[in-house]
């Protein structure tokens, strides 16, 4: 094979790979449309089933019937559910997600103000879990059946079993009330991140430790590991150069899925620590029967899940070139 043929095959490979990637992305993006449409319909129907009236929340108990009817007409709540859902879908197609009934602000603006604290909390929790769970999981796999393995398994099991709504107040009582070391709530300084990150990252750390241990164990007795040992490579190099690279796929899968869970499941943790994120905003919207804000928050959470799953699928091809996107279409 001469130089021209080699260049031709390299260019052909790059173009083919890019076409497959673009085709895969296009199909996944197209698949998001009916999913998002279904989510909007289900959210809208469930939102209007929620007991309570947003007009009562806005005007209070002493408002007259005429005042309530006038405000209901102004907000478009006097129309049928089908009419309201149709109007909402039409507004979304135009890029308008509505105006909050309680805050009297654009829903996009409210979500834009709260999204960064939630993403920040989720990223710090994932970093905490990575720095703790991967060394613990690999240590447990390396010392399978020993006291070290039993301790790491017990810690991971305890982490999964402890719920956030119990761990959060417990940490507040210990570090904020009794020891007076950390703030109770808010997002004012660096130390206000510690307790929410610990609360949110504990369960993820436990799950990731078990996944890391099992994934390491599956790869420790493969032929390429025996070959690496026969070449005289140290156990540290074998663990983190050979085994870790091949054990990454399940770890990346868990991290991707748990990132979506952290963004959407941080509702309780954010409420406990009065964290100014999307979780607190969503709880307040539910309390106020703020229909446009409830719909937008759930739709945003759903889109995050879809995007994270897509990024996880794409990361597989970077970690393991043997995975073919064509088979995932």
What is the rounded distance in angstroms from the CA atom of residue 202 to the CA atom of residue 65? 50
Q: Worst-scoring range by mean pLDDT, 111-115, 235-239, 290-294, 301-305?
A: 235-239
Per-residue pLDDT band at 8 (split at 50, 70, 90) = very low
* Model confidence at 135: pLDDT above 80: yes
Q: Mean pLDDT score of the chain, rounded to an integer?
A: 77
What is the rounded distance in angstroms from the CA atom of residue 158 to the CA atom of residue 43? 35
Q: Worst-scoring range by mean pLDDT, 5-14, 133-142, 162-171, 266-275?
A: 5-14
Report, as an integer, the average pLDDT of 173-181.
86
Per DSSP, helices labelled H in 50-191 are 54-59, 65-75, 81-93, 107-142, 147-161, 164-171
pLDDT digits (tens, 9 = 90+) for 192-207: 888 999 888 888 888 8
Report, as an integer, the average pLDDT of 15-25.
60
Per-residue pLDDT band at 265 (split at 50, 70, 90) = low
pLDDT digits (tens, 9 = 90+) for 43-92: 777 777 777 777 776 777 677 778 777 777 777 777 777 777 777 777 77
Report, as an integer, the average pLDDT of 123-148.
86
Per-residue pLDDT band at 145 (split at 50, 70, 90) = confident
Domain boundaries, the chain: 114-328
pLDDT of res. 13: 47
* Model confidence at 150: pLDDT above 80: yes
pLDDT of res. 321: 56
Per-residue pLDDT band at 19 (split at 50, 70, 90) = low
* Model confidence at 17: pLDDT above 60: no
pLDDT of res. 324: 55
Three-class DSSP category at 273: coil
Q: Would you say domain 114-328 falls under CATH 1.10.3720.10?
A: yes
Report, as an integer, the average pLDDT of 280-286.
85
* Model confidence at 10: pLDDT above 50: no
Per-residue pLDDT band at 231 (split at 50, 70, 90) = confident
- pTM above the 0.85 mark? no
Helices 278-288 and 291-319 pack at an angle, to 10 degrees, of 150
DSSP secondary structure string for all residues of 25-83: HHHHHHHHHHHHHHHHHHHHHHHHHSSS-HHHHHH-TT--HHHHHHHHHHHTTTS-HHH
User: 36 vs 204, which has greater pLDDT?
Assistant: 204
């Amino acid at each position: 094979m001469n130089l021209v043929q080699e260049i031709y095959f390299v260019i052909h490979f790059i173009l083919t790979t890019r076409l497959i990637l673009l085709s895969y992305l296009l199909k996944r993006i197209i698949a998001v449309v009916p999913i998002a449409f279904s989510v909007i319909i289900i959210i809208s129907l469930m939102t209007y089933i929620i007991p309570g009236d947003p007009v009562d929340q806005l005007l209070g108990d002493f408002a007259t019937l005429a005042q309530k009817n006038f405000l209901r007409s102004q907000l478009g709540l006097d129309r049928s559910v089908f009419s309201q859902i149709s109007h909402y879908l039409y507004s979304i197609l135009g890029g308008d997600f509505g105006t909050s009934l309680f805050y009297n602000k654009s829903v996009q603006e409210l979500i834009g103000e709260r999204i960064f604290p939630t993403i920040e909390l989720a990223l710090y929790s994932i970093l905490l879990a990575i720095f703790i769970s991967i060394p613990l999981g690999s240590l447990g796999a390396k010392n399978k059946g020993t006291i070290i393995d039993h301790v790491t398994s017990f810690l991971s099991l305890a982490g999964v079993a402890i719920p956030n709504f119990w761990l959060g107040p417990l940490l507040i009582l210990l570090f904020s009330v009794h020891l007076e070391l950390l703030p109770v709530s808010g997002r004012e300084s660096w130390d206000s991140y510690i307790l929410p990150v610990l609360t949110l990252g504990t369960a993820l750390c436990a799950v990731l430790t078990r996944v890391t241990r099992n994934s390491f164990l599956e790869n420790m007795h493969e032929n390429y590991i025996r070959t690496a040992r026969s070449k005289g490579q140290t156990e540290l190099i074998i663990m983190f150069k050979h085994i870790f690279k091949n054990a990454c796929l399940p770890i990346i899968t868990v991290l991707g899925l748990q990132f979506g869970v952290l963004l959407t499941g941080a509702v309780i943790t954010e409420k406990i620590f009065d964290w100014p994120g999307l979780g607190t905003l969503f709880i307040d919207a539910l309390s106020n029967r703020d229909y446009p804000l409830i719909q937008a928050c759930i739709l945003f959470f759903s889109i995050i899940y879809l995007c994270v799953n897509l990024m996880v699928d794409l990361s597989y091809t970077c970690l393991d070139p043997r995975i073919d996107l064509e088979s995932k279409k």
